[in-house]
Amino acid sequence: NKSEHYSAQVRPPGTSRQIPQTIIIGVRKGGTRALLEMLDIHPNIVVAATEVHFFDWDENYVKGIDWYRSLMPFSYGNQITIEKTPGYFTSPQAPERIHDMNSSIKLLLILRDPTERVVSDYTQVYYNRVESHKPVQLFEDIVIKNGALNTKYKAIQRSLYDVHMEKWLKLFNLDQIHIVDGNTLIKDPLPELQKVEKFLNLPSRIMSSNFYFNQTKGFYCIRSDGRERCLHESKGRPHPVVNNTVLEQLYSYFREHNAKFYRMVNHSFDWH
C-alpha cells in the first residue's frame, strides 16, 4: 500500500527520495490534480503530495536541488517520481531551469478548451475571493473592457497555449512532451491514462475498475488500494453561465492561436 509510505516519517527499507523523472507542467485548471491522482494508482508511480513551485518561484529555486528532492516521497528503484506544478507551463524561467536539471526529462501537459479554461480560472479566483470576503466581479465585466476583449486579463493570457509552448519547444523535443486531453480525461479517463503509461514506458496497470462515476459530484472518482475517493470539492465546481456574445468573442480570439498550436504539436484538438 503506497499511501502508508507517504505518511511514514521513517524511510522504508530499500527506498529513497528521487528527483522527479516526470513533471506535470500545467496548465492551471487543465485537470492537473485529476491527472496526478489518477497516475498515482499505478504501482510504479509515486507523486509529490503538494505543488512544489520549485522552478517558477525564485525564492524556492535558490534553495537548490537537494531541497527539491527533500519534498519528494520515498520510492523504490522501479518507481517513477512525479510532481505537478501548473504554473510551470506559463513561467518564463521554468523551461530553462528544468532543462538545466535534466535535458531528457519527460514532461506531461494537460490542456483543455482555452475558453473553458478561462472560465474555470475565473471560477477558482471567484471562490477564493468569496471565501476571503473580498469583492468579486462578474466574468463579463473582467473579460470585456470598453467594449473590447480585455486580452491583458491573466486568465486569457494563460490560455494562449501557442505562446507558451513555443518557449518549451525551443529547449525540448516534441516527443519529450506528452499532451493529455483534459476534456477527454473528464469524460473518459482510462484511454488518456493508458497513453501516459505508454509514454512513460510503464506496463499497463491502470484499469477501468479503478474508476466509478459519482452522480452527485458529476465526475469520475478513484477506486484504488481498497479505497474510494473523489477529488476535493474545489475541483469540478459549476461555472457561471457566460453571455453568448462574450463567449463568441473568446472563441474567435483563441481560434488563430489554437490553429498555430495544432501545427506546433502536430495534433488537433476539438476546441471551439
Task: Give the footprint of ligand A3P on this chain (CB under 6 A).
Answer: 28-34, 86, 120, 123, 185-186, 219-220, 231, 235-237
Cβ 164 to ligand A3P shortest distance, Å: 15
Q: What's the angle, vertex CA 45, arms to CA 162 and CA 48, rounded to 5?
A: 70
- Find, among 89, 18, 6, the residue nearest to 49 by Cα: 6
- CB closer to ligand A3P, 86 vs 95: 86
> Which residue number, 31 or 95, has a Cβ lying nearer to ligand A3P?
31
Residue with smaller CB distance to ligand A3P, 74 or 179: 179
Burial class (CB in 10 A: 0-12, 13-18, 19+), 93: middle
Q: How far is the CB of 35 from ligand A3P (least distance, A)?
A: 8
Least CB distance from residue 67 to ligand A3P, whole Å?
24
Cell numbers that stand for 218 in this block: 458529476
Q: What are the distances in angstroms from CA 16 to CA 8, 10, 39, 101, 239?
A: 13, 11, 20, 19, 42
Task: Output the nine-digit C-alpha cell for 107.
Answer: 514532461
* Dist. CA 211–CA 209, nearest whole Å: 5
The residue (of 221 and 246) whose beta carbon lies closer to ligand A3P is 221
CB closer to ligand A3P out of 125 and 186: 186
The least distance separating ligand A3P from the CB of residue 104, rounded to whole angstroms, comes to 26
Q: How far is the CB of 110 from ligand A3P (least distance, A)?
A: 7
